């Protein structure tokens, strides 16, 4: 599709953190909703440069005729007061043509200082800037004598260009209004009043616009109808829409994270994605009664009058929004050309503001709405749909979020690799623990042998991980074994397969977590091979070990969990909490408001960890009863 913002050359993607305002209904049952947007000063400077037709080096020339011109450069735009302060270097050349050449006084050089006042155009689709006054000074800023002809030439050529400085939002506003229409409840008619620029003011950070639109609330007085439980066909419909939301978030976060130089930004955006995927996986299977009893709605199970897709979208947007504000456009040149990022942010903010009207308004998040919002950012690169979800490993996604980041060379790892190859060649018939465990279902009669095979496998896998460029801090390397072993025990009781020996099947949780390390294919799709997670126990353990290291290094340590009372023990507890529930659960082990169900999970893991760290086996009776 064509880039609907291609004609707009001033980017407003530097929007900062903004409040979203939903005003109470006014006469006529129309609620006013306002979405502020800040245009950073450096982007306004680009609009001024465009009006002056400055080149890539910041220089330009405006001619009146063959003998009269002004040469411009060194443009500076600041926001010290209620108006834009513009300053630029000026060289005024004046003269008349006589005897075949231009004759006149020596060129005057100095600076022109102006103030520009922003004002909303009557149709509310653009902002213009009116010059309030101008002065010409010497290069050092001091006042100086200036010929009338030079002053007249400079003012007559520059001031009209200043009146052309304009921020045009017509096309992004059209896209935002189409997005709002798609999000309005079916029982509500079209927008009572489409989105327009209502006010503009100059702030320290730049130019602040306030977009406003009105929605009809006349039909909402009676409140929403009672929501019955979802029928099977409705669950399937929501699952398809959740898949679309998952694909939307994956595409958007990968697009914005790829050019970002700030690793913290990329990791925090990945955290939003992982938590959203956790929530999507749990949304339709979580026991609502248990959630209400415990006060834990992490899974975002559907509450009366809501749907899980809307809840996941709103929570994800609230977490993603501050990181969008930090996204440096210097790292995203493809987004600097037009209003794409600004329109995308404003569109998401508008949906968030609609939700702020209250649950009775019944905000609709649809496939069409997600696609419209994506096109504001991706333009012609937006996919026609975000489903079906790709299931293969995406090397770019793994590299983007540091899953494939190599560690320092390890001579011990090279030696082990050499020994492995020699042993493999010398004893080709020796069966590895992974091969021995393939398709094996633990039973009481073989339990001791089974558990020893698993212990051998876990020890082998953690040893290979540490010798293969692990990012585990040296002071914590002795903790990797008990961390992986205890996680595998808490998650699966060291089981990859269940069922009967004649018909083994991979251990799968109600939310789709697979195998010994209970890795959720929904959460980690694109980063790990889902078939191998189910079929290969060693691949499953390797993936789980990588994920644990990822949470420990990139979240627990980076966010300073070890700085709280408990020290390095906190890192282990935080790592498992995030592994079990997603990055947003990192600190739940130490929070007073953690629901009892989750606190019990964390305490049980910690008991297993301490037991294994003391070189003892976990309590077998906690998983395997007589007769199993």
Q: What is the DSSP string of 277-317?
A: HHHHHHHTTS-HHHHHHHT--TT-PPPTT--HHHHHHHHHH
Give the integer Cα–Cα distance in Å for 125 and 105.
45
Burial of 361 (0-12, 13-18, 19+ CB in 10 A): buried
Q: What are the structural domain ranges in the chain?
A: 438-622
Give the integer Cα–Cα distance in Å for 194 and 174.
9
Give the integer Cα–Cα distance in Å for 510 and 233.
19
Instruction: Give the model confidence (pLDDT) of 318-340 as tens digits.
Output: 999 888 877 754 455 555 555 67
Report how far Cα 225 is from the mean position of its chain's Cα atoms.
Answer: 34
Burial of 523 (0-12, 13-18, 19+ CB in 10 A): buried
- What was the pLDDT predicted at 284? 55
Give the integer Cα–Cα distance in Å for 414 and 590.
40
Give the integer Cα–Cα distance in Å for 507 and 17.
44
Instruction: Specify the length of the chain in residues.
Output: 628
DSSP 217: -
Residues 6+ apart with CB under 8 A from 615: none
Phi, psi of 509 (to 5 degrees): -80, 170
CATH placement of domain 438-622:
1.10.530
DSSP 375: H
Q: How far is CA 406 from CA 225, 265, 410, 472, 513, in A?
A: 55, 20, 11, 12, 27
Among 615, 588, 612, 611, residue whose Cα is nearest residue 600:
588
- What was the pLDDT predicted at 18? 40
Among 193, 199, 159, residue whose Cα is nearest residue 176:
193
Structure tokens at 487: 């996680």
What average pLDDT values come out for the chain (628 residues) when binned by 10 residues? 38 40 54 82 87 93 91 91 88 86 86 92 94 84 69 87 89 90 70 90 85 76 51 70 91 86 88 93 56 40 58 92 72 57 86 80 83 88 85 87 54 43 48 92 92 96 90 94 97 95 93 94 92 96 96 96 96 97 95 94 96 89 68
Contact between 159 and 131 under an 8 Å Cβ cutoff? The reply is yes
Instruction: Give the model confidence (pLDDT) of 34-54 as tens digits.
Output: 887 777 788 888 889 999 999
Residue whose token pair is 């929605």: 215
- What was the pLDDT predicted at 261? 78
| Omega before residue 175 within 30° of 0, cis | no
What is the b/e burial string over 58-94, where b = at least 16 CB atoms within 10 angstroms of the residue's CB?
A: eebbbeeeebbbbbbbebebebeeebbbbbbbbbbbb
Residues 6+ apart with CB under 8 A from 155: 134
Give the integer Cα–Cα distance in Å for 213 and 228.
32
User: What is the DSSP pairing of strand 68-78 with strand 60-65?
Assistant: antiparallel
Burial of 166 (0-12, 13-18, 19+ CB in 10 A): middle
- What was the pLDDT predicted at 330? 45
Q: Is this prediction's pTM over 0.85?
A: no
- What was the pLDDT predicted at 611? 95
- What was the pLDDT predicted at 145? 59
């Amino acid at each position: 599709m064509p880039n609907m913002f291609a004609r707009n050359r001033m980017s407003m993607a530097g929007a900062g953190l903004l409040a979203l305002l939903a005003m109470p209904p006014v006469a006529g049952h129309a609620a006013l909703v306002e979405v502020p947007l800040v245009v950073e000063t450096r982007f306004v400077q680009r609009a001024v440069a465009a009006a002056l037709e400055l080149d890539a080096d910041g220089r330009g020339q405006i001619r009146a005729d063959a003998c009269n011109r002004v040469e411009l450069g060194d443009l500076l735009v600041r926001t010290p007061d209620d108006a834009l302060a513009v300053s630029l270097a000026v060289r005024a050349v004046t003269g008349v043509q006589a005897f075949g050449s231009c004759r006149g006084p020596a060129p005057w050089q100095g600076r022109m200082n102006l103030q520009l006042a922003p004002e909303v155009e009557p149709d509310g689709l653009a902002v213009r800037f009116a010059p309030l006054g101008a002065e010409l000074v010497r290069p050092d800023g001091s006042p100086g004598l200036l010929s009338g002809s030079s002053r007249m030439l400079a003012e007559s050529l520059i001031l009209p260009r200043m009146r052309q400085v304009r921020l045009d939002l017509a096309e992004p506003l059209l896209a935002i209004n189409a997005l709002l229409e798609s999000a309005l409840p079916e029982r509500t008619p079209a927008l009572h009043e489409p989105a327009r620029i209502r006010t503009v003011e100059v702030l320290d950070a730049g130019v602040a616009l306030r977009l406003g639109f009105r929605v009809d609330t006349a039909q909402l007085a009676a409140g929403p109808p009672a929501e019955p439980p979802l029928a099977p066909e409705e669950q399937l419909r929501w699952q398809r829409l959740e898949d679309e939301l998952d694909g939307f978030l994956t595409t958007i976060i990968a697009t914005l994270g790829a050019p970002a130089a700030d690793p913290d930004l990329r990791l925090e955006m990945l955290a939003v994605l992982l938590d959203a995927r956790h929530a999507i996986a749990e949304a339709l299977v979580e026991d609502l009664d248990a959630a209400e009893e415990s006060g834990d709605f992490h899974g975002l199970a559907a509450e009366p009058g809501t749907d899980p897709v809307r809840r996941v979208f709103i929570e994800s947007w609230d977490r993603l929004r501050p990181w969008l504000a930090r996204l440096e456009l210097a790292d995203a040149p493809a987004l600097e050309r037009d209003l794409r990022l600004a329109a995308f942010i404003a569109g998401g903010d508008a949906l968030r503001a609609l939700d702020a009207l209250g649950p009775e308004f019944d905000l609709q998040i649809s496939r069409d709405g997600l696609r419209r919002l994506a096109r504001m950012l991706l333009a012609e690169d937006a996919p026609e749909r975000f489903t079906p979800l790709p299931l293969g490993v995406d090397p770019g996604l793994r590299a983007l979020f540091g899953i494939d980041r190599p560690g320092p060379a390890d001579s011990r790892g090279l030696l082990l690799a050499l020994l492995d190859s020699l042993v493999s060649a010398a004893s080709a018939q020796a069966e590895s623990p992974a091969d021995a465990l393939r398709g094996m279902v633990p039973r009481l009669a073989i339990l001791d042998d089974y558990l020893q095979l698993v212990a051998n496998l876990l020890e082998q896998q953690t040893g290979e991980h540490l010798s293969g460029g692990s990012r585990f801090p040296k002071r914590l390397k002795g903790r990797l074994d008990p961390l992986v072993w205890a996680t595998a025990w808490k998650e699966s009781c060291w089981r990859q397969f269940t069922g009967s020996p004649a018909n083994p099947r991979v251990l799968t949780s109600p939310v789709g977590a697979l195998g010994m390390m209970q890795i959720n294919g929904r959460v980690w799709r694109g980063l790990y091979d889902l078939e191998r997670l189910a079929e290969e126990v060693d691949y499953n353990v390797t993936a789980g070990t990588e994920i644990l290291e990822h949470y420990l290094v990139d979240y627990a340590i980076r966010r300073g969990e070890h700085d709280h009372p408990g020290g390095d023990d906190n890192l282990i507890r935080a790592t498992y909490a995030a592994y079990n529930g997603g990055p947003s659960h990192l600190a739940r082990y130490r929070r007073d408001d953690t629901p009892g169900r989750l606190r019990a999970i964390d305490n049980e893991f910690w008991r297993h960890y301490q037991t294994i760290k003391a070189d003892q086996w976990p309590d077998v009776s906690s998983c395997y009863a007589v007769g199993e």
